[in-house]
Structure 1
Amino acid sequence: MNKLSVSQISTLRWDLEADVHAYYERGFRGIGLYRPKVEDFGVERAAELLAEYSMAATSLSWAGGFTGSDGRTFEDAVSDAIAAVIQAAELGAETVIILAGGKNNHIKNHLRRVLYQALCRIAAVASEHGVKVAIEPFHPGCGEEWSFVNDFDATLDIIERVDNPALGLVLDTYHLGMECDIAHAVADIVPHLHLVQLGDGRHCPHGEMNRCLLGDGRVPLTDLMDLLFRNGYQGPLEVELIGEDVEHLGYDSLLDHTRAYLSHALPLHC
């Protein structure tokens, strides 16, 4: 059975303790950790709280920005990513999510070289600590400042070049689930797939991320999940909901709808 999880970004205004209580009450046994919340709560206390509820940390978000698009130097970004890997090990988090960084006026070859150099160092540390790291490709319509990696081909290329089993990818269905060629890519990505994030949207990403309730948008979630399962994916399913279409909802309502949707759409995996 695939572990069901909720990203803390979905309940951004709650603290870690409130998140854990609310997710656990609804039968979720996984949590996607958000670094600012963990650091506010304290890493050691967070690890103790997760152990108390037997809740698995399916991910830790985020690290990256190696291109300088967020104002940091390359070395600062790599050092921060390594710190995130060590933090993940302390928390028992399975995967650190990596965002490559925006183009920042660099040429393509330089961007690829910078990312390769960063990921080689980070994956080596991850291997030593028993943690996975995963690149998340972002749809270019809403993520140019976050990542120049926008599709499966570019993601698989860098994974193969680094050639470290600790390095894989995150499939966020909001970003790439509406792409017409995703069905053809599934067989290639599953062997490298560390995490699936479930998101839906009423239109292709454009501007700020705007996810809607699962099942209310254009992402063929049930078909896509069935395809992933048939190709052997057995990892976590982590829900991430954020944007104008859900921000007016109370977090309790959002979580209740999410749990009901998953129980109906994925009964054999819940």
Structure 2
Amino acid sequence: MHDLTRLSLNQATIRQWDVRQAVEGCARAGVPAIGLWRERVAELGVERSARLVRDAGLAVSSLCRGGFFPAATTAERQRRIDDNRRAIDEAARLGTDVLVLVCGPAPDRDLQAARAMVHEAIGALLPYAQEHGVRLAIEPLHPMFAADRSVIVTLKQALDLAEQFPADVVGVAIDVYHVWWDPEVLPQIARAAGRILGFHVNDWIVPLPDVLNGRGLMGDGVIEIRKLRQAVDAAGYHGPIEVEIFNERLWAMDGDALLELICDRFRSWV
């Protein structure tokens, strides 16, 4: 990717900056879009965050995150659905039509039941999402996160779920960190045509320094990032490409220096 026209900075990559700093940093660096996180938006407020992004001329590529649907009780499941409705509201007010769903783990070891809860919750949210013009992007996570973050662990699973709902409302977010290992990833990306709502890049370092916070900059690991990006392009997705990296070492860097490095790696490896 020789230019930055599709680059979006996922806010988790630069945790040392709040919303204002991240927006201003993107504007300085010529990064055209940002992926926001609900927790950081809440610090400043939705309306002020939206105004900052708008005034800087940036696009909001997505809001992270909704999901975490399975729960041990009916009341708790309903509370989670209600919170996802708030997330849909926030996405619409921030000017993005993509809410990323990390679906959540099983509360009681029953994976099948937990996946049924995910399906039920997305069905419950569907009319509200349609009403607000927000699309729900199911993000499959690497299987090592099945115990604590998501019972949806392959792109095939995510598509099997998404295809039970209208394509203009429910799709998938594809993160290379979570799918690169999958022998079915290329045919599943092709299958996802019309339902790809986001594409996230980073790298898998060997040895992995930390399961959650050990992702690498593009080019520092083993993922065929460009091959996956080309597959996503071929499937018809030409939207923003979010750089989403959880890494303690990067969070300790000067923000502007990190953003410059991200731009260089994006040009070279994506």
For residues 237 and 56 of structure 2, the distance between their equivalents in structure 1, rounded to whole angstroms, comes to 26
Distance 1:204 1:83 in 2: 39
Give the stretch that moved more between structures: 39-48 or 154-163.
154-163
1:6 aligns with 2:9: yes
Whether the 8 Å CA contact 1:123–1:164 is kept in 2: the answer is no
Distance 1:142 1:207, change over 3 A: farther
Q: Distance in 2 between matches of 1:231 and 1:154?
A: 18
1:76 to 74, 79, 82: 79
What is the identity, as a one-letter code, of the residue corresponding to 1:217? Answer: G
Correspondence for 1:216: 220
Q: Tell me, in whole angstroms, the C-alpha distance in 1 between the residues paired with 2:76 and 2:147.
A: 18
Mark the CA change 1:2 to 1:178 in structure 2 (over 3 Å): closer, same or farther: farther
Q: Does 1:139 align with 2:103?
A: no
Three-state SS of the structure 1 residue aligned to 2:216 is coil
Alignment partner, residue 95 of structure 1: 98
The count of aligned residue pairs is 264
Aligned partner of residue 193 in structure 2, secondary structure: helix
Cα offset, 1:187, TM superposition: 0.6
Q: Secondary structure of the equivalent of 2:194?
A: helix
Q: Distance in 1 between matches of 2:8 and 2:230?
A: 18
Summarize the alignment of residues 157-168 of structure 1 with structure 2, pairs less than 5 Å apart: 157-163=160-166, 165-168=168-171
Is residue 2:35 matched to residue 1:35? no
The structure-2 alpha-carbon separation of the partners of 1:197 and 1:55, relative to structure 1 and needing over 3 Å to count, comes to same
| Match of residue 27 from structure 2 | 24
Tell me what 1:259 maps to.
263
Q: Deviations over 1:202-229 (max 9, x none)?
A: 1487733411111111111112112221
1-structure distance, mates of 2:225, 2:68: 29
| CA positional deviation for 1:160 | 1.5
**Residue 200 of structure 1 aligns to which amino acid in structure 2?**
D
1:155 corresponds to which residue?
A: 158
Q: CA RMSD in A?
A: 2.1
Equivalent position amino acid for 2:224 in 1: P
Residue 143 of structure 1, CA deviation: 5.0
- Residue of structure 2 in register with 1:198 after alignment: 201
Q: CA deviation at 1:178?
A: 3.2
- State whether residues 212 and 246 of structure 2, in contact with CA within 8 Å, keep that contact through their aligned partners in structure 1: no
Conservation of the 8 A alpha-carbon contact between 1:211 and 1:245:
no
Normalised TM-score (structure 1): 0.90
TM normalised by structure 2 equals: 0.90
Report the equivalent of 1:62.
Answer: 65
Percent identical among aligned pairs is 27
Structure 1 unaligned spans of 5+? none
For residue 192 of structure 2, the aligned residue among 189, 193, 201 is 189
For residue 181 of structure 2, the aligned residue among 178, 182, 186 is 178
Q: Which amino acid aligns with 1:56?
A: A
Q: Which residue of 1 aligns with 2:112?
A: 109
User: Which residue type is aligned with residue 117 of structure 1?
Assistant: E
Q: Secondary structure at the residue paired with 1:191?
A: coil
Which range moved further: 130-139 or 250-259? 250-259
- How far residue 265 of structure 1 moved from its aligned partner, in angstroms, is 3.7
Alignment check: 8 A CA contact 2:65 2:101 kept: yes
Write the distance in 2 (CA, Å) between the matches of 1:216 and 1:173.
13
Output the amino acid matched with 1:3.
R
Q: Summarize the Cα distance change of 1:13–1:246 in structure 2 as closer, same or farther, 3 Å threshold.
A: closer
The one-letter amino acid paired with 1:213 is L
**Partner SS state of residue 235, structure 1:** coil
- Over residues 59-79 of structure 1, what are the superposed CA-to-partner deviations in whole Å (9 max), with x where a residue is unaligned? 11111211128xx81011100
Matched, 1:237 2:241: yes
Distance (Å, rounded) in 2 between the aligned partners of 1:100 and 1:107: 14
Equivalent residue in structure 1 for 2:54, among 26, 51, 54: 51
Pairwise CA distance, 1:142: 3.8
